[in-house]
């Protein structure tokens, strides 16, 4: 018998230490360079090193001259190669901006040159490019530079203040969610109908009306339903938020004693009245969405970041604010010229103006329109010297109850990014005003010229506007792609309001070429009916079916932004028609 030696147990090697990632040094250097570029008197930075959150590297809290918090932003910091002025930004970062109530800044750092650049990211900036993995972002020096003496702080403050409304709404939704308790283990016809309602509501907000979700339901994955009371005739409920990654029931119950009308922010998300869910929960969801879409339109809450609307909006503002922008009245500006007027000249003008006048202390913002009216002398020489010497200026929140300065700054940046000149769209008024009516300043020829500019571009501008704001064009389409558009303009006489007759025509013969758009001076051509009773119109020797006939006042033509006004009127008309169809569906049940 042979004895075998028992093998000695092998000593296991200690586990190898896990090294830091290959990008660790570059990331830390980028964060350090960013910190050193910030003015600690204006910005309190809370930046995370080696943080694993995919879309956020920390927060910036902005403070005013007294050190009081004035706004908050999220930041994502990335390192770029030496000398680079571009960054290939993942589209996932733009999509993240829909999931947070705070504005998101991209910070790109060239650590070799110690140069720090920034860009405010918004989801609408990638409309039409959503399928791409990334988009290219360019930076300009000094316009997009972060430095202790730069203009970035006032721009950030403007962005942060503009988002305050979104944050307040987010807090309101969170308050509702906190005060709701799960509706567990209940199965009933009422619950089934609430499920239908909430499913349709979330579908509409995620697809056809995503702009409404971004504005009124910020940082939200899905909308939940909090039931307060249900009878055969009446219902009382509030909507609440469910964040992405949170496991939360979609249907809850809310204590009946909660006063839904005490807080206007909470009141927006509530309903007390007729129980439409009992009869048709899908239609009730559509009515809820469409009613709030109309409110969004009336509050000018939609993006207008497109070539035509940017030109219209910018020229309207520039014409009445030449002094505080340091511009001469012209029919064409370079994009960079406009950008510098807003980002370099305007804040220094406001800084000088608040020293030259006694501005109302109760105003929470500095309104250049009001300040221009209060000025008794020109300060252009002082401001030009400050601009040329790149002198720093104090923190100042530029704002207005009439116009969004964040949107103006954004459009000025858009104008610069296109690399094209920005040209006036409409003719200026040429006649002295006679009486209180603004249209007395325009000749019939000028009005017809402006109408042609509007209607010849309307189809394309309307479609791009709807797409930009994430709405369903198929639902909100004002006319078919085959429709010809014939407009007759009736000029005003004395106090009478100008009017238009809009006809959408379809050729009775085989269409030849692209549908036409014609704007003519009225009166409108006569309409006759054929043997089947369908209205016909003969135009330029051809017979057309009249698909739609609309007579309206043409007051939009004399508004400050006529194309945008017409788009809003058209959208509201379409939404009203959809609501009426929904109501008819309820009555036919």
- The answer for residues whose C-beta is within 8 angstroms of residue 526's C-beta and 6 or more apart is 537
Res 211: pLDDT: 86
Beta bridge partners of 507: 544
Q: What is the mean pLDDT of each run of 10 residues along the chain (589 residues)?
A: 51 52 77 93 87 77 85 93 94 87 92 94 85 92 85 85 70 70 73 93 90 80 88 88 79 73 60 89 90 83 90 95 95 94 92 91 87 91 91 82 86 89 90 76 91 96 91 87 91 79 87 85 89 89 91 90 94 86 47
**From CA 416, how far away is CA 472, in angstroms rounded?**
29
Please give the model's pTM, rounded to 2 decimal places: 0.81
Closest among 218, 224, 226, 220 to 258, alpha carbons compared: 226
395-412: pLDDT as tens digits: 788 888 888 888 898 899
Res 480: pLDDT: 82
**From CA 285, how far away is CA 73, in angstroms rounded?**
33
Res 298: pLDDT: 80
**From CA 338, how far away is CA 343, in angstroms rounded?**
9
Res 588: pLDDT: 32
Alpha carbon of residue 558 to chain centroid: 24
**From CA 189, how far away is CA 167, in angstroms rounded?**
36
CA–CA distance from 386 to each of 140, 193, 348 (Å)?
20, 64, 7
> Using an 8 Å Cβ cutoff, are 253 and 181 in contact?
yes
Beta bridge partners of 118: 107
126-159: pLDDT as tens digits: 877 888 999 999 998 888 999 987 778 888 988 8
CATH architecture of 24-147: 3-Layer(aba) Sandwich (3.40)
Res 586: pLDDT: 40
Res 509: pLDDT: 77
> Using an 8 Å Cβ cutoff, are 226 and 176 in contact?
yes
Res 200: pLDDT: 94
Res 201: pLDDT: 94
Three-state secondary structure of 465-519: HHHHCCECHHHHCCCCCCCEEEEEEECCCCCCCCEEEEEEEEECCCCCCCCCEEE
Q: Regarding beta strands 234-242 and 180-182, do their DSSP bridges make them parallel or antiparallel, or are they unpaired?
A: unpaired
Beta bridge partners of 254: 180
Domain boundaries, the chain: 24-147, 166-295, 307-425, 440-587
Res 585: pLDDT: 42
> Using an 8 Å Cβ cutoff, are 225 and 251 in contact?
yes
**From CA 97, how far away is CA 514, in angstroms rounded?**
39
C-alpha distance across the termini of the chain, in Å: 97
> Using an 8 Å Cβ cutoff, are 504 and 518 in contact?
no
Res 26: pLDDT: 80
**From CA 125, how far away is CA 128, in angstroms rounded?**
9
**From CA 568, how far away is CA 466, in angstroms rounded?**
11
What are the structure tokens assigned to 242, written together?
A: 């469910």
């Amino acid at each position: 018998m042979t004895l075998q030696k028992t093998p000695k147990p092998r000593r296991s090697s200690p586990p190898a230490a896990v090294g830091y990632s290959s990008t660790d040094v570059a990331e830390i250097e980028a964060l350090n360079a960013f910190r050193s570029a910030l003015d600690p008197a204006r910005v309190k930075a809370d930046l995370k090193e080696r943080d694993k959150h995919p879309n956020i590297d920390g927060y910036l809290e902005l403070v005013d001259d007294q050190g009081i918090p004035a706004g908050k932003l999220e930041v994502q910091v990335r390192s770029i190669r030496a000398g680079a002025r571009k960054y290939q930004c993942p589209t996932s970062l733009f999509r993240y901006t829909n999931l947070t109530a705070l504005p998101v800044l991209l910070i790109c750092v060239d650590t070799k040159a110690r140069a720090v650049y920034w860009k405010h990211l918004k989801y609408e900036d990638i409309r039409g490019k959503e399928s791409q993995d990334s988009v290219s972002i360019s930076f300009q020096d000094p316009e997009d530079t972060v430095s202790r003496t730069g203009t970035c702080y006032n721009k950030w403050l403007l962005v942060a203040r503009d988002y305050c409304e979104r944050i307040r709404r987010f807090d309101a939704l969170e308050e509702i969610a906190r005060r709701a308790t799960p509706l567990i283990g209940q199965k009933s016809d009422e619950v089934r109908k609430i499920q239908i309602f909430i499913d349709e509501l979330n579908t509409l907000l995620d697809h056809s009306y995503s702009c409404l979700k971004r504005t009124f339901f910020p940082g939200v994955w899905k909308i939940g339903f909090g039931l307060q009371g249900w009878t055969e005739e009446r219902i009382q409920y509030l909507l609440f938020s469910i964040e992405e990654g949170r496991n939360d029931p979609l249907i809850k119950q809310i204590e009946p004693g909660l006063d839904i009308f005490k807080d206007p922010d909470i009141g927006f998300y509530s309903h007390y009245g007729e129980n439409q869910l009992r009869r048709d929960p899908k239609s009730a969801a559509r009515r809820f969405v469409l009613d709030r879409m109309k409110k969004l339109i009336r509050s000018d809450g939609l993006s207008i970041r497109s070539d035509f609307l940017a030109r219209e909006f910018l020229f309207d503002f520039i014409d009445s604010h030449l002094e505080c922008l340091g511009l001469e009245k012209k029919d064409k500006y370079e994009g960079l010229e406009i950008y510098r007027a807003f980002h370099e000249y305007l804040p220094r003008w406001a800084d000088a103006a608040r020293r030259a006048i006694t501005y109302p202390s109760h105003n929470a913002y500095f309104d250049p329109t009001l300040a221009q009216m209060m000025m008794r002398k020109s300060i252009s020489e002082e401001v030009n010297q400050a601009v040329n010497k790149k002198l720093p200026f104090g923190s100042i929140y530029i704002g207005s109850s009439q116009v969004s300065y964040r949107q103006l700054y954004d459009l000025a940046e858009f104008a610069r990014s296109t690399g094209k000149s920005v040209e006036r769209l409409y003719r200026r008024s040429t006649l002295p005003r006679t009486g209180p009516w603004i249209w007395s300043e325009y000749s019939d020829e000028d009005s017809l010229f402006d109408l042609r500019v509007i209607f010849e571009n309307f189809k394309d501008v309307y479609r791009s506007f709807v797409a930009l704001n994430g709405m369903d064009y198929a639902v909100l389409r004002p006319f078919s792609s085959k429709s010809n558009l014939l407009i007759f303009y009736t000029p005003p006489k004395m106090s009478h309001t100008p009017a238009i007759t809009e006809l959408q025509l379809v050729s009775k013969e085989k269409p030849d070429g692209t549908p036409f758009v014609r704007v003519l001076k009225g009166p409108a051509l006569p309409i006759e009916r054929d043997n089947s009773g369908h209205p016909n119109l003969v135009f330029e020797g051809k017979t057309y079916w009249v698909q739609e006939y609309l007579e309206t006042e043409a007051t939009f033509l004399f508004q400050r932004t006529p194309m945008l006004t017409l788009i809003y009127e058209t959208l509201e008309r379409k939404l009203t028609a959809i609501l009426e169809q929904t109501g008819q569906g309820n009555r036919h049940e």
